[in-house]
Amino acid sequence: MDTVIKNYLEQLKIGRKQSYKNLALYPLLSTCSLGLEYLLLDEALNKNLIEIVEKNRGGSVPELRVMNKSPKMILILDGEELVGAKQNRIVNTTILVKGNATIVIPVSCVEHGRWSYDTPQFHSKKRMMSPNLRAMKSEQVNYSIKSSGEFRSDQSAIWDGIAEKLEYFRITSCWQRGEKAAPHSSGVRQKENRCRPYSATSSKNGSPG
């Protein structure tokens, strides 16, 4: 591994400086090809090459089961939202799932109040956890790794952070009102669309949260 890294660093070239106001960047250019082929999560879901479900029928809040049905690796990014099953979750760390493998991944719940099946499997809404909540979660996960070796977040703190955002934008989920409708439906969805750039989860196009 040291030889691979050494050879890679030796062939790097520094590109032309790019400046904007008081910021200057020097790109690192490389012709090296590592031959690492993988699919992104949304791409794999669209092609039905990955299946994400509850860990078991009863479910486990901090864990989900992932089945890669492709010979290629699949990249799941930290903060991606998985929607459906017994409650929506956010991925706790970036994971590269090897081909034709089944693993259990660490997640956090972002849908306090629902614990019943909405769909058998999880799907993607192409949303990421908002930057500030993701930063808070990452700090918690890093602490958990150091203290216990597990990629766990502080679930109560995650719920509190989301509740603060909902309160700030005056959004009340159906589950908070005791209704059985999906939490992203009707009036709630309309409010979320207006506030999407600032919501607890934001689109993967880079909208701030």
In the chain, where are the structural domains located?
38-203
**Which regions of the chain are under pLDDT 50?**
180-199, 207-209
User: CA separation (Å) from 102 to 58, 118, 146?
Assistant: 18, 23, 26
Residue 147 token pair = 């203290």
Output the pLDDT for position 105.
98
Q: What pLDDT is attached to residue 179? A: 53
DSSP result, 46-101: HTT-EEEEESSTT-BTTEEEEEE-SSSEEEE-TTEEEEETTS-EEESS-EEEPTT-
pTM above 0.75, yes or no: no
C-alpha span between 81 and 48 (Å, rounded): 17
Cα 32 to chain center, whole Å?
Answer: 29
Which helix (H) or strand (E) segment is 13 a member of? strand 13-14
Q: How far apart are the first and last CA of the chain?
A: 38
